[in-house]
Structure 1
Amino acid sequence: MEESRKDLKVMVIDDSNTIRRTAETLLSKTGCDVITAVDGFDSLSKIADCQPDVIFVDIMMPRLDGYQTCALIKNNSQFRHTPVIMLSSKDGLFDKAKGRIVGADDYLTKPFSKNELFEALDRYAQPQTA
């Protein structure tokens, strides 16, 4: 599957520097083009500019949380079909259900393993053909 990651644009939105760096390092090693953002506001202009193939978004962030960010992405006709995978330190049913309501495609509990990250990516990633 790794070959299929070569030209993928992946966005990681998380207010944790550690999570952003870890995900960026893991994804970059497999050939992904990684864009990071520190919160929902920071991500919106980057999403419009970079048009990522898959977006990982933390739920608990200042200013604009993951649910709000996901809802904004999914309500935009240009990005409606972009897979959004929620990241959370809680793995509660309520959080998962709320994620589904705002349009999230999947849910990873932090700390996630390298395999979980790649499995989620492989499940949803389809590089956009120009």
Structure 2
Amino acid sequence: MTRKVLVIDDSRVIRMRVKDMMPQEGLELLEARDGVEGMKMIRQHQPNLILLDFILPRKGGWDIFQEIQQDAHLHTTALVVMSGRKEEVVEKIPEPFAYFAFVSKPFEKAELFEAIRLATRFAGERLKRQQVAPTPTPVSADVEARVQALEAQVAQLRGELQSLRTWIQERLGG
């Protein structure tokens, strides 16, 4: 299975550096030069991993981060935020980062891969929580009334059954 990795960064140097660091097999590396193009590619390609520069032209990384968080289809996507100015990220999203991994630019291959491992773990944890706690389905008033009527019938039958058991025990001398 081919995994899709989207690099959203206005720096061609960073995009090329990431491309050179990533394995050549089993990956489809996609690139976006700004936030608008990046969000379009996220929706179109639904990547497994997003490497997101926080400071971007046309649409910033903060805006993209918020859209990803709010979209149920994207919420479990692994996300690595990249920035040379961590203080700007921390200003918007206080540490410790629990939704994404952070890597400071410029970065080495080991730092990038450690951030990818962490981001993948965070995404897996979100997926597990999503599977464990599904959102409840709204119940119509008609269905709710039927359920209550059935519960009342079950209670009545239980009472009758208990009375029958008592009657049998009295007759059999038990």
Q: TM-score, normalised by structure 1?
A: 0.79
Note the residue ranges of structure 2 that are not aligned, 5 or more in a row: 122-174
Partner-residue secondary structure (3-state), 1:112 = coil
Q: Distance in 1 between matches of 2:25 and 2:99?
A: 24
Q: Given the alignment of the two structures, is residue 122 of structure 1 paired with residue 123 of structure 2, yes or no?
A: no
- 2:19 alignment partner, one of 17, 24, 28: 24
Q: Deviations over 1:75-127 (max 9, x none)?
A: 111101112211111132x52352459x851111000111111112223338x
Q: Which has the larger radius of gyration?
A: 2
The alpha-carbon distance between structure 1 residues 108 and 30, as it changes in their structure 2 partners (threshold 3 A), is farther
- After the TM superposition, which segments of 4 or more aligned residues of structure 1 sit over 6 Å from their partners? none
Which of 1 and 2 has higher RCO (CA within 8 Å, sep 6+)? 1
1:63-74 alignment, distance < 5 Å = 63-74=58-69
Q: Given the alignment of the two structures, is residue 52 of structure 1 paired with residue 54 of structure 2, yes or no?
A: no
8 A contact 2:80–2:119 mirrored in 1: no
| % same residue | 29
CA RMSD after TM alignment: 2.4
Q: Deviations over 1:1-38 (max 9, x none)?
A: xxxxx732111100001001111221143642211101
Q: TM-score, normalised by structure 2?
A: 0.61
Q: Given the alignment of the two structures, is residue 62 of structure 1 paired with residue 74 of structure 2, yes or no?
A: no
1:92-103 alignment, distance < 5 Å = 92=87, 95-96=89-90, 98-99=92-93
Q: Distance in 2 between matches of 1:62 and 1:119?
A: 27
Q: Distance in 2 between matches of 1:39 and 1:107?
A: 19
Note the residue ranges of structure 1 that are not aligned, 5 or more in a row: 1-5
Q: Which stretch of the first structure deviates more once superposed, 79-88 or 25-34? A: 25-34
Q: Deviations over 1:42-85 (max 9, x none)?
A: 01221122111111111111110111111112211110111221
Q: Which amino acid aligns with 1:110?
A: K
Q: Provide the aligned length of Structure 1 versus Structure 2.
A: 120
- 1:77 alignment partner, one of 67, 72, 76: 72
Q: Which amino acid aligns with 2:106?
A: P
Q: Which amino acid aligns with 1:96?
A: V
8 A contact 1:85–1:104 mirrored in 2: no
The alpha-carbon distance between structure 1 residues 86 and 12, as it changes in their structure 2 partners (threshold 3 A), is same
